[in-house]
Amino acid sequence: MQNKKTWKVTFRAFLYLLPMLIIIGVFNIYPIFKSFAMAFYENYNMFSGENDGYTLENFNILFSDEEFHEALTNTFVYVLFVTPISIIISLFIAIMLNNIKFLRPVFQSIYFLPFVTSTVAISIVWRWLYHSNYGLINYFLGLFGIESINWLTSPDWAMPAAIIMSIWKSLGFNILLFLVGLGTISKTYYNAAKIDGASTWQRFRNITVPLLSPTIFLVSIISFINNFKVFDEIYALFNGQPGPSNSTITVVYYLYKKFYTEFDYSVAAASGIVLFVIILIFTLAQLWLNKRFVHYR
């Protein structure tokens, strides 16, 4: 192999990278810049590409749109419920799995299944589970004397229904990451902590959490970003609707609706940029927290 970094070698390397670069350029890089530009176009014509220059009017329309406010609120509610609950539950399950030897691969696969199943298929199953008359969930609630809930048809219950399904769906991937993280914590720390008189909870608080913090951080960043982009869970669970009477509309759903049903391309692009800024702020905040609280070995 030629190791010197001459111009010739560099050029040849670029040639090998070129096919992938072209694909990424056409389908990722260019659209990013184009959508930024689109958000600022005045009277944009998608098909001819004509516009009357740049304006901030699109954002004005966006922020005065009642529906967009609702989409923002719903997205925040969704993210702030799904992310922490999913992390806590999957951490709990991962620790349980980490402590059993028997059948561990079997359980691991079972928990991972939702992650590799298509969202549409999952949503069809959950639509049955949530069914107000024949659903399994209402049947179980009935056993405890709780009246059946109109999960999918009541505006009050649609969001909780989406949140519960999403938490369940996200467990597998988080558990997988947590198991990898737990595997890197040496057992001697637990032995030392036992000798030092730490109870099970104290060992969790003082050993597991700090030594797992890099993984917890990674999982929370991935979950926050993914959950802010929620669309297909809503679309599939409510059969192509943003929930009963628009009750579960999210920012991406709003973007989709503006783009494909209202052909308001510039406002759609503007809403995308707002979401981008929100995710950016959250990620920066987490990076800052990471610096302060996460311990890297």
Partner 1 sequence: MEVQFNDVSMTYDGSSRTVLNDMSFTIEDHSLVSILGPSGCGKSTTLMLISGLLFPSGGKITFNDRDVTRLDAVSRKVGMVFQNYALYPHLSVIDNIAFPLKMAKVSKKERMETAREFADLVQISDHLNKKPNQLSGGQQQRVAIARALAKKPSILLMDEPLSNLDAKLRTVMREEIRRIQQQTGVTTVFVTHDQAEALSISDKVMVLDQGVIQQSSTPMDLYENPQNLFVAKFLGSPSINTFSLDQIADALPERLVAQLKKKDVETIGIRPESLTQTEPGAGLFTGEVTHIEIVGKERTVKVKTADGTEVIIADIPVVFDVGDQVSFGSKPASLFYFDSEGIRMVISDAE
Q: Is 189 in the site for partner 1 (CB under 8 A)?
A: yes
Rounded Cα distance between 107 and 229, Å, is 29
4's tokens: 């010197």
Rounded Cα distance between 196 and 144, Å, is 44
CB of 200 to partner 1, least distance (A): 9
Chosen residue from 202, 260, 262, 284 binding partner 1 by CB under 8 A: 202
Q: Is 195 in the site for partner 1 (CB under 8 A)?
A: yes
Task: Please list the residues that pair with 54 across neighbouring strands.
Answer: 41
Q: Is 188 in the site for partner 1 (CB under 8 A)?
A: yes
Q: Is 103 in the site for partner 1 (CB under 8 A)?
A: no
Nearer to partner 1, 7 or 296 (CB): 296
Nearest to 165 by CA among 229, 227, 212: 227
Chosen residue from 8, 34, 69, 295 binding partner 1 by CB under 8 A: 295
CA 175 to chain centre: 15
Nearest to 250 by CA among 127, 70, 83: 70
Nearest to 248 by CA among 165, 141, 138, 174: 165
Q: Is 42 in the site for partner 1 (CB under 8 A)?
A: no
Q: Is 194 in the site for partner 1 (CB under 8 A)?
A: yes
Chosen residue from 76, 85, 168, 210 binding partner 1 by CB under 8 A: 210
Nearer to partner 1, 157 or 178 (CB): 178
Q: Is 100 in the site for partner 1 (CB under 8 A)?
A: no
CA dihedral 166, 167, 168, 172 (to 10 degrees): 110
Number of residues located near partner 1, criterion CB under 8 A: 19
Q: Is 132 in the site for partner 1 (CB under 8 A)?
A: no
Handedness of CA 248, 249, 253, 258 (dihedral sign): positive
Residues that bind partner 1 (CB under 8 A): 186, 188-189, 191-199, 202, 206-207, 210-211, 295, 297
